[in-house]
Structure 1
């Protein structure tokens, strides 16, 4: 069985002091929830503070991005080794990174291979824009993103990866996809692309999350779908009661 996972992407929110307050209170509630893997992804500046508070809690810590190079003249970037010192997870290829900072499937793939070398657990994001969705290009776009972003990964490492299906038109808009529609993309597009890369058995072992305006009100709809294994949560992950409720909803789906 694929264990449910809920990851909170805080994006560019919370100072170090605010992170301490939020993690302290949130972790007290999250650590009581069993049957689901929990991950918090604050900004880089807050990772050290969060790491100290999460030690021994059973809650994972993730970075929101990283460079693919081990070190060098890359002003403003963070290397895989720097991430590894504090984190077990890293988000790669989020739509905001693709849209605002020019990331491509090729650069995401380079980062993924760097994560593999550092034994980090990547959360690799794929998803179509509103224009692509309305043009009926979801299958073509999401399949290509999955195939190109995850290529050349070692078969033994592949089951550790996590894919997040994030329809770009649903991120931060309050307009979520619906459960059956999102599940169809995972089942009919993402898993077949994974099977082409790694074989069907491995494709069925890789967890695929849904992301895009996930709230406590709609979480059950997504988590009840057989091919959706949890969520990558944005704005709601900054609200303690919301994120805890979403996590509990995911935990209740584990059989």
Structure 2
């Protein structure tokens, strides 16, 4: 049973969403602001956080950024603003998915299930479970723990979306993959929200992997093609 944390300053929305997800078999805690969020995470870390963008004090973007620095917990952001720039910034800050208000609770449920599935909460681990450690250019990707370690053995935090995208790259080394292929392979289906999500995720991965993000050596942009993971990969 997955545990959800819903963060919204609209108490009516909190009550409705809590009732809805309880009816669908989840345990649920709610928070109305950032302080409540941190207190809730200390009491019982959530498997997934549903986070409203417009909150009093620290807004959802800042909270998402801070969450990503401390936790690998998947985040779905909610907002009344549907501008593309807001959605892209949400992904930049570490959100795994984004839904604009007003929304159908059934769509939010579907997205929660999909994100949890990608995070390994509701399905077997991606990749070859018999060889759970992937090495490339001195880096180590642990499929069992869903952890990335640098060549000097520093653990690098990854969101669930970043992990799944990196896994796609290391499972298809040297192959040019289009944005649509990356979306399908990383998420299991085409994502109709905004195609730039892959570009944002790639940018975030580069900042964590590349020595020079202006001249990326591992994840190469192929003009009119997509992206290519250029380094050799081994499993153990």
Higher Rg? 2
Verify same fold: TM over 0.5: no
TM-score w.r.t. the length of structure 1 is 0.30
User: Larger relative contact order (C-alpha < 8 A, sep ≥ 6)?
Assistant: 1
Identify, as 1 or 2, the structure richer in helix.
1
Structure with greater proportional strand content: 2
